[in-house]
Amino acid sequence: MSLSLRDRHLWVVLAAGAGLGVLGALLSVWGNPQNSGICVSCFIENTSGALGLHDNERMQYLRPELIGFVLGSILCASLFREFRSRGGSAPLARLVSGVFLIVGSAVFIGCPIKLFLRLMAGDISSLAGLFGLIAGVWIGLQGLARGVDLGRAEDERGATGLLVPAGFILLLVFLLARPSFLLFSDRGSAAQHAPLFISLAVGLLLGVLAQRSRFCVTGSVRDGLLMGTRSPLLWGFFAFLIGAFVTNIFMGRFTFGLYGQPGAHLEYLWSFLGMLLVGWLSVLIGGCPFRQLIKAGEGDADAGLAVVGMLLGGGLVQSWGVAATAAGVATSGKISVLVGLAFVLLISLLFRDRTV
């Protein structure tokens, strides 16, 4: 089957990809950390810190973009009658997977979206993460082909799919009201942020586009390996890369090189393994950190549990010194990645259908 330019879904995917690339790069211009205009794992760590789940004073800010992603998703899903409360598929495995999604991202310093934003800004040290992500997605696909399956989510009673979106509405209230228990950094990367309402508006727009298109960076890599150029998501991925690259060039944010890149380190093996862990887990649970937020907004309680796991992971990687810095990867980070790989291997064995 070939692509058709008359396919409306293809154009929505292209809009989602281009929007993510352009706005992801522009958010850095508007105040977010350089090369981190959108970094879901970094934002999760910031949000965990704002809620008091860790005490790193440089990583505490309730990121409006995350709220926008979830609320944009539920608004779009409700408008098109696609909101459906569902869940019950290996919930504990998905919760722990959410923790290790953040572990792998924190060791690399960035989620898959930030990986490509770094690359499109000229940071070639991110290539190690790119190879790791592709390897992880490929391993995950091999597992699926051999019967690894966490199960299919079933419709649930009681509107449990509303719980996570309701939690993010509460976070929006906190962000606007600024109660005393909420923590905000006055230095470090968390102190760098675009204006609140611009960040929120960008998050809402991208949440709508991502819900409507099902666009996901890791999903694009997966579909590219499976379907080649017949995959609409792959073309959305190309639009994402072009949008980010052109914006960085136009705004003077492109710096080609290996050394001195913002939010990066030179421990390539651990960048590779960290992103391998993220890619493998993402295939297994049906999406990277960004996609989990979008699915949670659609009423997927399993994805909601992965989001809760990510928030816990955001607290743990900072409290336990797992997150890498420009100086490199701490021993605790290396051990955590290896434990994460052992975990995803274990659940692949436990959830394998022996009849396949």
pLDDT tens string 58-70 = 999 999 999 999 9
Q: For residue 48, is pLDDT > 90?
A: yes
Least confident of 38-47, 147-156, 260-269: 147-156
Please compute the mean of the pLDDT values over residues 324-349 and round it to a whole number: 96
What dihedral do alpha carbons 272, 303, 43, 12 form, nearest 10°?
A: 90
Q: How confident is the model at residue 155 (pLDDT cuts 50, 70, 90)?
A: confident
Please compute the mean of the pLDDT values over residues 267-276 and round it to a whole number: 97
Least confident of 42-46, 150-154, 159-163, 352-356: 352-356
Q: For residue 356, is pLDDT > 70?
A: no
Please compute the mean of the pLDDT values over residues 29-58 and round it to a whole number: 96
Residues 87, 160: contact at Cβ < 8 Å?
yes
pLDDT tens string 117-127 = 999 999 999 99
In this structure, the number of other CB atoms found within 10 A of the CB of residue 345 comes to: 13
Q: How confident is the model at residue 2 (pLDDT cuts 50, 70, 90)?
A: low
Identify the CA nearest to 113 among candidates 171, 167, 57, 65: 65
- Between residues 160 and 104, which one has the greater pLDDT? 104
pLDDT of residue 171: 97
Identify the CA nearest to 117 among candidates 265, 109, 276, 277: 109
pLDDT of residue 153: 81
pLDDT of residue 130: 97
Query: How far does CA 183 lie from the centroid of its chain?
Result: 23
Q: Looking at this protein, which amino acid is placed at residue 315?
A: G
Query: How far does CA 187 lie from the centroid of its chain?
Result: 24
Q: For residue 1, is pLDDT > 60?
A: no
Please compute the mean of the pLDDT values over residues 87-93 and round it to a whole number: 90
Q: What is the 3-state secondary structure (H, E, C) of the chain?
A: CCCCCCCHHHHHHHHHHHHHHHHHHHHHHCCCCCCCCCCHHHHHHHHHHHCCCCCCCCCCCCCHHHHHHHHHHHHHHHHCCCCCCEECCCHHHHHHHHHHHHHHHHHHCCCHHHHHHHHHCCEHHHHHHHHHHHHHHHHHHHHHHCCECCCCCEECCCCHHHHHHHHHHHHHHHHHHCCCCCCCCCCCHHHCCCCHHHHHHHHHHHHHHHHHHCCCHHHHHHHHHHHHHHCHHHHHHHHHHHHHHHHHHHCCCCCCECCCCCCCCCCHHHHHHHHHHHHHHHHHHCCCHHHHHHHHHCCEHHHHHHHHHHHHHHHHHHHCCCCCECCECCHHHHHHHHHHHHHHHHHHHHCECCCC
Please compute the mean of the pLDDT values over residues 126-144 and round it to a whole number: 97
pLDDT of residue 17: 96
Burial class of residue 270 (count of CB atoms within 10 Å of its CB; 0-12, 13-18, 19+): buried
Report the alpha-carbon distance of residue 245 to residue 117 in Å, rounded.
Answer: 8
Q: For residue 178, is pLDDT > 90?
A: yes
Q: Looking at this protein, which amino acid is placed at residue 250?
A: F
Q: For residue 258, is pLDDT > 80?
A: yes
pLDDT tens string 276-313 = 999 999 999 999 999 999 999 999 999 999 999 999 99
In this structure, the number of other CB atoms found within 10 A of the CB of residue 318 comes to: 23
User: Under 8 Å CB-to-CB from 27, ≥6 apart: which residues?
Assistant: 37, 38, 65, 194, 198, 199, 202
Q: How confident is the model at residue 157 (pLDDT cuts 50, 70, 90)?
A: confident
Q: For residue 156, is pLDDT > 90?
A: no
Q: For residue 114, is pLDDT > 60?
A: yes
pLDDT of residue 219: 93
pLDDT of residue 152: 82
pLDDT tens string 186-236 = 999 999 999 999 999 999 999 999 999 999 999 999 999 999 888 999 999
Per-chain mean pLDDT for the chain: 94
pLDDT of residue 43: 97
Please compute the mean of the pLDDT values over residues 4-26 and round it to a whole number: 91
pLDDT of residue 20: 97
Identify the CA nearest to 41 among candidates 118, 123, 117, 98: 98
User: Under 8 Å CB-to-CB from 57, ≥6 apart: which residues?
Assistant: 185, 187, 188
